[in-house]
Amino acid sequence: MSFNDSGFGESPSREYGRDRRYGGGRRFGGGRRFEDNRPKPVETGKEYDVSITEISRKGDGIARVEGFVIFVKGGQVGQNAKIKITQVGGRFATADVVGEGTPQPATE
């Protein structure tokens, strides 16, 4: 008799972290995810004035436009910058700094 035959061990239907009903299948973010079906507030090639509020693990600045995350290459915390969007994905966008921005109120 093995452990699985006697009821010990994992059964395929009760694997840890595999039950989608518990926690809704989310791993991180606490429900602050930008909805995929909602139109994105930024567009590739357009420029925006933003405030860099955080630094990512990779060293890029993090800004938000209407709650949508933008990773800004070379951005520094506290910097007000004019950025140009280089790519828009489902959950975030990437951008480059193109100049000095005007001070923006924090939006989240």
CATH number of domain containing 28:
2.40.50.140
Q: Name the band, by pLDDT with cuts 50, 70 and 90, for residue 37.
A: confident
Residue 106: is it exposed, middle or buried by C-beta count within 10 angstroms (0-12/13-18/19+)?
exposed
What is the domain extent for residue 72? 12-100
Please check whether residue 46 lies inside any domain of the structure.
yes
Which residue type does 82 have?
K
Q: Please indicate, yes or no, if residue 108 is contained in any of the structural domains.
A: no
Between 5 and 47, residue with greater pLDDT: 47
**What is the radius of gyration, based on Cα positions, of the chain?**
21
Helix (H, G, I), strand (E, B) or coil at 64: strand
Domain count for the chain, please give it. 1
Q: Residues 65, 54, 86, CA angle at the centre, nearest 5°?
A: 50
The single-letter code of the amino acid at 45 is G
Q: Secondary structure of the chain: what % helix, strand, coil (to 5)?
A: 5, 35, 60
Quick check: is 43 in a domain?
A: yes
What confidence score (pLDDT) does residue 16 get?
Answer: 47
Domain assignment of residue 55, yes or no:
yes
> Is 3 inside a domain boundary?
no
Q: What is the pLDDT of residues 12-35, one digit of tens each?
A: 554 445 545 555 555 555 555 566
% the chain with pLDDT above 90? 56
